[in-house]
Amino acid sequence: MKKIGTIILLALVVVMTFGAFSSFASEPYTTYTYSIDGKPLESPTAYRADSVVDAIDMNISKYSAEGGLKSAADVTTDDQANVYIADTGNNRVVVLDKYYKAKAVIDSYTDEYGRTQTFSYPEGVFVHTQVDENNGETTRYLYICDTANFRIVVFRETLDGSFVYDRTLDKPETPLLPLEAYKPAAVAVDLYGRIFVVSKACYEGVIVMSSEGDFTGFIGVQKVTYSLIDMIWRRFQSSEERATAVKNLADPYNNITVDEDGFVYVTMEPSTPGGKSEQYSAIKSKTAASSPVKKLNASGKEIMKRNGFFDPGGEVDVLSGMEVSVIVDVAVGKEGSWTILDKSRSRTFTYDQNGNLLFAFGDEGEQLGNIAENKAMAIAYQTIGDVYNLLLLDNDTSGCRLTVYTPTPYCDTIISALRNQNEHNYSESIFFWQDVLTQNNNFDLAYIGIGKALFNQGKYDEAQAMFESAYETDYHDKAFMEIRKQIIQKWLLPMIIAAIVVIVLIVKFLGYAKKKNKATSLKVGRKTYWEELLYVFHLVFHPFDGFWDLKHEKRGSVRASLTFIFIAIVAFFYQAIGQGYSFNPRGDYSTVFMQVIAVAVPVILWCVGNWCLTTLFDGEGSFKDILIATGYSLAPLPLFVIISTILTNVMTLQEGSMVNLLVSIGYVWVFFLLFFGTMITHDYSMGKNFITILGTIVAMAVIIFVIVLFSSLVAKMVSFVIAISSEISNRI
């Protein structure tokens, strides 16, 4: 009996171990998200490769003598799970049923004039389901981009499931769209019947037409990028030269789709190194203009939310613009989610409606689920009952194939959580988000989802903790504001009393300092350290008299000056470690040593540079005078830095302008004190002092250059000596 129990226990351990392992590593590709630092975090498999369907499996030969697929460029589906493939190389469109068996091949048609027409290099397909408002009946229309024939051909599905020719959308009559610019490569139709066309030769954005094919305008116009050399050169060109110069054109879009609300998703690939560099910069800056994916409303305004750590535009862990993702397609999924295809990595990235990465997966290779390098062409979602398959079309060397990915329970749980969240069923969404965390505790969106649910339940402290776990500052601030409101309501009277007490103490202390400074001014002989420190309260409010007495009446000293510099170092160190979560969500900080370098080095450079310059230009101040004046000039800054740092713990990021204002006031005050301190110390006029200040800044730069140059030379000399010594020792 004991032996049987041991065997059962061992079996359970094996099942649990390999079961948990398989959720992460059973596929030939890795599924992952990103940390706030941009590093991949492996997650459970979201989509599992189910099968690969080629032309033989599709049984295309049943409908056409040409039984294969050649250079297929696009794939789409309809509400009945039928699949449509733009078989570009064979100049046709192949229609598959939900089991991926051919049910029709459209390679020719008879137009309204009785002429037989064929396709030439059709690159895009789209299915639009139109609902009759009177009887609720639905009619499906198939839009085919007949690219090389410069037109879009529309087919209507009949009751028996076949497609008949409906109409042709030639280039609309408008002088804004030249004939050569109308070369449809992708098309989409919204719920109102508006037609959105991506043309390979159109640099004005997306072409918009009415349901009848009448031109209504362009949307989503791309910005033109210039290199630095081009911008400088254009400054020296005349208007005639600029008119005849080669035009810089915006990159055209390469694909398009619409969601159920009529919003348009478009993708593009930068064609220049400058464009790729801008896309690389947009990864962290989340600049919409440089993103490879955009979401447009009917008027063409970019409305995509970019609330994630990075821009929702593909790969994040790249080193330069030459490694950015090449986005070639976008597909809309469930609950506001959407997926893009990175051709350069054979990888898909799925985001929610707020731009948060849900998961990314895919890799290059020959195993099931992997795609050969640069062969991924298009993606589409296929709904079969409650299952939401992801279809990926590729142009493999052995022939075009359709890879079918099916969602895993992990993916279903995420979608269920999003559905309940979108429907405001927050108590239900907590259950699903917690289930997600049990499978992947690195999934930041789950913490945010739970935090939102707790927030709506009034559990602000718990919600705040969840938001902090996911570095979510916006909702953290909302929870913090509610907590702050409760604290103020409870402690308002004691807080007012405390504020009054603090103000009274400050006024009393300033009065004491004024009285003490007045008494010290009549004192003969050496001043005490405390008197030297208190003098700063007179100097910062009366800089002209203050700096004069500082030098000529010896009201200050080097030790007091160094004290103020030390206080500045302490203040900046406190700022580095004491900021509130909203202002420093990542908990970044710097060491005391770095703060010493950050404060002391500029002060030393300023003093040395100013002394060197004023020695040559009849300055009356010694190096000691300059150091003392500089130290006293820094005195107001620590106060503003400390107060602003304290405020970051009781204010939100939206209220951060007050924090920035305080620090700015501190820096401006220091600048004016430094300016007048230099002028009075050296007995300069206003103009001469201004020139001296600029010269000092230049001198600081020269000193830095000399130090760097000298350090480099010393390093090379040491390296040379070590190399010679090593060579001699080897020969001996």
What is d(CA 628, CA 631) in angstroms, rounded to the nearest whole number?
5
617: nearest Cα among 547, 523, 684, 542: 684
pLDDT category of residue 234 using cuts at 50, 70 and 90:
low
Look-up of token digits 């000691």? 624
Segment holding 226, helix H or strand E: none
The 10 Å Cβ neighbour count of residue 27 is 23
pLDDT category of residue 247 using cuts at 50, 70 and 90:
low
Rounded alpha-carbon distances, angstroms, from residue 700 to 393, 494, 607, 611, 625: 60, 50, 9, 11, 18
Cβ 90 vs Cβ 107: under 8 Å: yes
The whole-number pLDDT of residue 11 equals 40
The whole-number pLDDT of residue 248 equals 64
pLDDT digits (tens, 9 = 90+) for 23-40: 455 789 999 999 999 999
pLDDT digits (tens, 9 = 90+) for 357-368: 999 999 998 899
Rounded percentage of the chain residues whose pLDDT exceeds 70: 93
**H-assigned helices in 330-471:** 409-422, 426-439, 444-456, 460-469
For every residue of 58-118, DSSP letters joined together read HTGGGT-S--S--S--EEEE-TT--EEEEEGGGTEEEEE-TTS-EEEEE-EEE-TTS-EEE
The whole-number pLDDT of residue 233 equals 64
Secondary structure in 3-state letters for 631-691:
HHHCCHHHHHHHHHHHHCCCCCHHHHHHHHHHHHHHHHHHHHHHHHHHHHHHCCCHHHHHH
Domains, the chain, in order of start with CATH, read: 43-407 (2.120.10.30), 420-522 (1.25.40.10), 525-714 (no CATH)
The whole-number pLDDT of residue 414 equals 97
> For 517-535, what is the mean pLDDT?
87
pLDDT category of residue 157 using cuts at 50, 70 and 90:
very high
The answer for residues whose C-beta is within 8 angstroms of residue 309's C-beta and 6 or more apart is: 34, 35, 36, 38, 357, 444, 471
Mean pLDDT of all residues in the chain? 89
The whole-number pLDDT of residue 229 equals 64
Provide the whole-model pTM: 0.83
Both structure tokens of 387: 């299952």
**H-assigned helices in 457-591:** 460-469, 473-521, 529-534, 536-539, 543-552, 558-578
Side-chain-side CA neighbours of residue 317 (13 Å): 12
What is d(CA 359, CA 29) in angstroms, rounded to the nearest whole number?
12
DSSP 364: B
The whole-number pLDDT of residue 557 equals 92
Q: Is the pLDDT of residue 729 over 50?
A: yes
Q: Is the pLDDT of residue 588 over 90?
A: no
478: nearest Cα among 653, 599, 607: 653
φ/ψ of 204, rounded to 5, equals: -100, 5
pLDDT digits (tens, 9 = 90+) for 488-516: 999 999 999 999 999 999 999 999 999 99
The whole-number pLDDT of residue 16 equals 40
Sheet with 138-146, side-by-side order of all strands: 124-131, 138-146, 151-157, 163-169
Q: Is the pLDDT of residue 646 over 80?
A: yes
Cβ 321 vs Cβ 279: under 8 Å: yes
pLDDT category of residue 201 using cuts at 50, 70 and 90:
confident
Q: Is the pLDDT of residue 685 over 50?
A: yes
What is d(CA 339, CA 475) in angstroms, rounded to the nearest whole number?
25
pLDDT digits (tens, 9 = 90+) for 38-72: 999 999 999 999 999 999 999 998 888 888 899 99
Q: Give the max Cα distance, the chain.
A: 115
359: nearest Cα among 650, 678, 670, 29: 29
Burial profile 592-614: b = 16 or more Cβ within 10 angstroms, e = fewer: eeebeeebeeebebbbbbbbbbb
What is d(CA 580, CA 217) in angstroms, rounded to the nearest whole number?
48
The answer for residues whose C-beta is within 8 angstroms of residue 556's C-beta and 6 or more apart is: 532, 535, 539, 550, 628, 631, 632
What is d(CA 203, CA 181) in angstroms, rounded to the nearest whole number?
8
Rounded alpha-carbon distances, angstroms, from residue 481 to 301, 460, 473: 32, 9, 12
pLDDT category of residue 22 using cuts at 50, 70 and 90:
very low
pLDDT category of residue 3 using cuts at 50, 70 and 90:
very low
> For 420-447, what is the mean pLDDT?
93
